[in-house]
Chains A and B, each alone.
Chain A
C-alpha cells in the first residue's frame, strides 16, 4: 500500500459580503417558503396601505377633527376662560425649563422635547392667534431654562425647585377648576361640572391617579411586608380585593352604588369619584410593583444598614426604598401608561372625556358616520402621549443604569 503525499487544503477566510441586498437575501429570501411569505406579506401590506390611503384621501371627512378640536380637547370649558388652560401649560413648561437649567441631563432633554413638540405643533394650520398661544409654551420653557442656569449655584434654588413642583399640583387644580382668586368654572358658567372637559380629563385623571397612587402603593407594599399582623392583613386584603375586580366594575360602583349609600350632601361629584376609584385601583397594582422591587433587595443590604446603626425606619427610607424603586421604574411607567389609557373608561360612566366626547360629537347630525376619522385621531393622540412616556422611561432607565448591573 503506497501512500501518496497529501496536500493540505487550507480554507480561505470567508468572504463577508454585506450590504442591503445581502441582508435581504439572508433575512427575507433565504428559502423558497420564506420568499413566498415575504412576497405574500408585502402584497397584503401594500393592499391595506392602498385601501387605507384611498379611504383617507377620498372618502374620509377629516373636517370633523378641526371643527371639533376644542370640544375634544377641553370640552365645554368656557371660551373666555381658556387662558387658564394655557396658563397651566406655561406653568408646567416653565418649571420643566427651570429644572432643566438646574440639572441639565435627562430633565433638560425632556424640556427640549416638549419645546420642540410645541414648535412642531405650531406649524400645523392653526389660526395665528392660536399659534402664538402655542409658541408661548416653548418661550416659557426657555425662560425657565435661563432662570435655572442663572441660579444653579445657589442652594435656595434647589429648594425652590422642589417646592415649585409640589405646588404645581394644587396650582393646576386651582387654575383649571377655580378657587382662591379665580372664578369657579362650572358654577358661574353654563358648563355644569367638570365632567365634560374632554381630553383634559384624561390628563388630569392620569396625573392625579399616578401622583396619589405612588405613595399609597409604597405604603401598601411596606404594609404587606410588615411584621405587624393587622397591618399585613389589611394591606393584603386591600390589594387582593382591588386586584380581583375589573376597573370598570369599580367605576360602575362609584357611579351607581355609592350614591345609593351616601347622602347627597357628602357625595363628591362624579369626576372626583372616578379619580378616587382609579387612584385606589392603581395603588393596589403599584403596591405589587413596589413589593417586587422590595423583594429584590438582598438581605445583606438590611444587615449592612443595621450594622452601621440605622434603625428600621431609616433603613427603609435611605437604603431599601431608593434601590427598590429604581429597580421597578419600568414597571411603574408601564403602570402610568396603562392608567392613562384606563381613563377612557370614564366614558362609560357618562363622563365626557376624550372617548365620551367622540360619542357626543357623533350625536351631532352634521358629523354622523365620522366614527373612523375620530377614532383614528384619538388613537393617534394616545399613541403620541404613551410613546413619549415610554421613551422617557427608557432614558431614565439608561441614566440610572437599571439593567446594567
Chain B
C-alpha cells in the first residue's frame, strides 16, 4: 500500500511538472482544440478596451485585434473569445502562466519586456503612442523647460513614471511628482489644481481632456518624451503561435495598403499576385501558418483593415486622435505601418 502511494505521488509530481510544459508548447492547437481564444485586454481604457453599455460586450481598438485573431484561426469572433480584463500589474504574470493566449492590452514594447526576463515576445506595433504632458494654458507653460520644479501627477506601475524621471534628468530639471495608483485620481488631482501638469501617453491625454472641468484651458505640450509602441504579446518559445499573431496584424496593414475593406474583402477582384495570395486563392500561405487558406479574409471580414479599425475606435467619433502625419499612418503616407512581402 505504501509503495503504491509513493508511486502515485511520483506520477502526480511528474504530471504536475510536465503538463504545463506540454500545455504551453503549442498555443495554436490549444486554442483550436478549445474552440475559444483567451485574450487579455484592458477593460477600462477609452478607445482601446472597455465594456459597451449598449451591447454589454467588449469594444475598442485592442479588442478588435482579438477579434481579428480569433477570425484568422477559424473561430467565430462574436462568440469564441474569452476576454480577460487585466490590470497593469497582472498582465505579464497572466501571460507567463498561460492564463491567456495573447496579451493585447496597450502594452509598450521595451527591451526588458521582450527579453528572457519577462518571457514575452512582441508582435508588430499596432499603435505608436508617446508620453506627453497636459498643462493649463492659463499657467503659461509652453515647453518642458517651463516645468522645472513643477508638481507633476503620474500613475504608478507603468513605464510612465520611469520616462518622466529620465526626461527630467536629461534636461537637468528638478522633478516633483505626486504618484497615484489610479488614472482617475491622478487626473482628478491635476484637474482640481493639485498638480501643474499631468503626464501620460498622448492617446490617454486626448481622452482625459474630454472629461476635464474646463477642456478649453488644457493643452498638450509639443514634446514627446518617450517611445510607446503598443502591440500584442505572446509567450517566448512558441514561434508558431507568434507567427499567427504577427501576420494577423500584418494582414490588417496589407489590406489597407491594397484597398481591401471589410465590405469588399469577400468579393475583391484583382490580378495582383500578392493580393491573390492574401485572399487565399493561390500560394498556400495559410497552410504555412497552420491556418485555413481564407484566414486573412476572415480577419478582415471580422474587423476591417487597419484604417477601418483606427477610424472606428480612435477616429473623430471616438478619441479623435489625428492619424494623418503621425507614425500611425501607412508607410505610403509617411507613417510606420508596413507589411512585409505577401509570398
Contacts and interface: CB of A to CB of B under 8 A. Distances in A.
Contacts of A262: 16
Nearest to A64: B53
Contacts of B42: 363
A386 interface: no
A71 B84 contact: no
B50 interface: yes
A210 B83 CA distance: 29
A71 to B, nearest CB: 6
Contacts of A255: 90
Interface in B54-111: 56-57, 78-87, 89-90, 93-94, 96-99
B19 A363 contact: no
B330 interface: no
A190 B78 contact: yes
B55 to A, nearest CB: 10
B49 interface: yes
A140 to B, nearest CB: 26
Contact of A360 (B20, B44, B208, B210): B44
A210 B179 CA distance: 37
B210 A365 contact: yes
B83 to A, nearest CB: 5
B57 to A, nearest CB: 7
A105 interface: no
B81 A190 contact: yes
Contact of B56 (A76, A187, A267): A76
A288 B141 CA distance: 58
Contacts of A361: 50-51, 53
A70 B51 CA distance: 12
A108 to B, nearest CB: 38
A259 B53 CA distance: 32
Contacts, number: 119
Contact of B211 (A263, A270, A368): A368
B11 interface: no
Given A264-B24, A362-B184, A368-B46, A350 B319 contact: no
Given A266-B16, A369-B211, A360 B51 contact: yes
Interface in A165-210: 186-190, 192-193, 195-196
B44 A362 contact: yes
Interface of A is mostly: helix
A190 B82 CA distance: 7
Given A190-B81, A264-B20, A265-B19, A366 B43 contact: no
B52 A365 contact: no
Given A263-B16, A365-B207, A368-B207, A360 B50 contact: yes
Nearest to A349: B90
Contacts of A70: 56
B44 A359 contact: yes
Interface in A204-226: none
B57 A190 contact: yes
Interface of A: 67-68, 70-71, 75-76, 79, 186-190, 192-193, 195-196, 255-256, 259-260, 262-267, 270, 348-350, 352, 356-357, 359-369, 371
Given A196-B51, A264-B23, A265-B23, 18 more contacts: A68-B53, A76-B51, A76-B57, A189-B79, A260-B93, A260-B96, A263-B19, A265-B20, A350-B43, A350-B84, A350-B86, A362-B44, A363-B45, A364-B53, A365-B207, A365-B318, A366-B53, A369-B210
7 contacts: A76-B51, A259-B98, A260-B96, A264-B20, A350-B86, A359-B43, A365-B207
**6 tightest CB-CB pairs across the interface, nearest first?**
A363-B50, A369-B211, A259-B97, A192-B82, A263-B20, A363-B44
